[in-house]
Amino acid sequence: MAGRQRTGTPTLEDVAALAGVGRGTVSRVVNNAAGVKDSTRRAVERAIAELGYVPNHAARSLAGRRADAVALVVTEAEWRLFGEPFFAETVRAVSDALADSGMHLLLTLVRGAAERRRFVEYARGGRVDGVLLVSAHGGEPLPDMLAELGIATVLLGRRSADEPVSYVDVDNVGGARTAVRYLLGSGRSAIATITGPLDMYVAQCRLRGYREALGRGTERDAAPAPGAPDDSWVAEGDFTEESGRRAMRELLARHPGLDAVLVASDTMAAGAVHALRAAGRRVPDDVAVIGFDDFPLAQHIHPRLTTVRQPVDEIGRALVRLLLEELEDSAVAWRHVVLRTELVRRDSA
């Protein structure tokens, strides 16, 4: 394949010649380095404008040994999940957070061993300065591979309780606990839950929060605990709508009298609502549903659902901040941030 780059593009040298200075000076001006006389700087800037000079990325990257880009990697075999609002929102948030830093965002999917290997080569090739990793399941090896290669990496969501690699996570236990307490406080007591895939730590945490609120009532503002429900009140889904529907049917079959459900995702909540309706239950009057993720799908299905909102913009900012910090001083300890969630009530509307 022949060279692709437009030829005749002005180079730093052209600018230097036109401005009557050396290349080094132009470089300093372009990079806003201190120690250039103001008049010189202006002359160079004029030349740059006149020539329409734009720095060549490859050269800069080669000389400066950096890429000015970070990869956002989605390790999710089920790409369909990328359609989930949570991913789209995350991409947007990260993109926004990155905008000021001058870095560019590279979106990459890793859906299996082959693509994982391919991405590692890619990263090793120096095309990114760091990696943001979303949707890592329990045993995902990519973060460790990257860490071993010395590539700055930050996860959105831990893989396990003792995640070593840097991460940003939300307080899933607390969010679920708050949701269930709210239900208890509003008079519901037969409360079931639909979890995410239990090989994901996020799903385990939400389940734990549910159990804590029901079984213990450890904190003083907690409603009276009705005793921990057994596993028949728990159904596992995989974050898809269909799984939410199926899980809800199971729960209804086992406990026709249930009057509230905590669902681990927006999409599954939509499925659960369908199943409830099909069973002739009124939502949320007859059965209260609380879904995680304050996003559109479940709201389409029923606008009065209560949700546990994840602060996506803050997640994005935190991810970028951690990554930049890691790039600054590669000495490092791992960095961890856990963000609070927020209950958004709509069912009283």
Partner DNA sequence: CTGAAAGCGCTAACAC
Partner DNA sequence: GTGTTAGCGCTTTCAG
Interaction between residue 62 and DNA (CB under 7 A): yes
* Cα–Cα distance, 3 to 292 (Å, whole number): 49
Q: Which of 53, 201, 233, 239 binds DNA (CB under 7 A)?
A: 53
Interaction between residue 59 and DNA (CB under 7 A): yes
Is the CB of residue 72 less than 8 Å from the CB of residue 142? no
- Cis peptide bond prior to 284, omega within 30° of 0: yes
Q: Which does 156 bind (CB under 5 to 8 A by kind): DNA, a copy of itself, none?
A: none
Interaction between residue 102 and DNA (CB under 7 A): no
CB of 116 to DNA, least distance (A): 22
Interaction between residue 22 and DNA (CB under 7 A): yes
* Cα–Cα distance, 269 to 261 (Å, whole number): 9
Interaction between residue 227 and DNA (CB under 7 A): no
Q: Which of 18, 28, 103, 267 binds DNA (CB under 7 A)?
A: 28
Closest to a copy of itself by CB, 330 or 348: 330
CB of 122 to DNA, least distance (A): 14
Q: Among candidates 319, 261, 331, which has minimal Cα distance to 291?
A: 261
CB of 51 to DNA, least distance (A): 10
* Cα–Cα distance, 106 to 83 (Å, whole number): 18
CB of 120 to a copy of itself, least distance (A): 9
CB of 245 to a copy of itself, least distance (A): 10
- State the number of binding residues for DNA (CB under 7 A): 30
Q: Which of 18, 25, 74, 165 binds DNA (CB under 7 A)?
A: 25
* Cα–Cα distance, 123 to 126 (Å, whole number): 6
234 DSSP β-pair partners? 193
3-state secondary structure of 293: coil
Region from 29-37, 86-94, 161-169, 190-198 binding DNA, contact rule CB under 7 A: 29-37
Is the CB of residue 15 less than 8 Å from the CB of residue 44? yes
Q: Which amino acid is at 129?
A: D
Is the CB of residue 106 less than 8 Å from the CB of residue 72? yes
* Cα–Cα distance, 169 to 106 (Å, whole number): 21
User: What does the binding site for DNA look like in residue numbers (CB under 7 A)?
Assistant: 3, 9, 11-13, 20-25, 27-28, 30-31, 35-37, 39-41, 53, 55-56, 59-60, 62-65
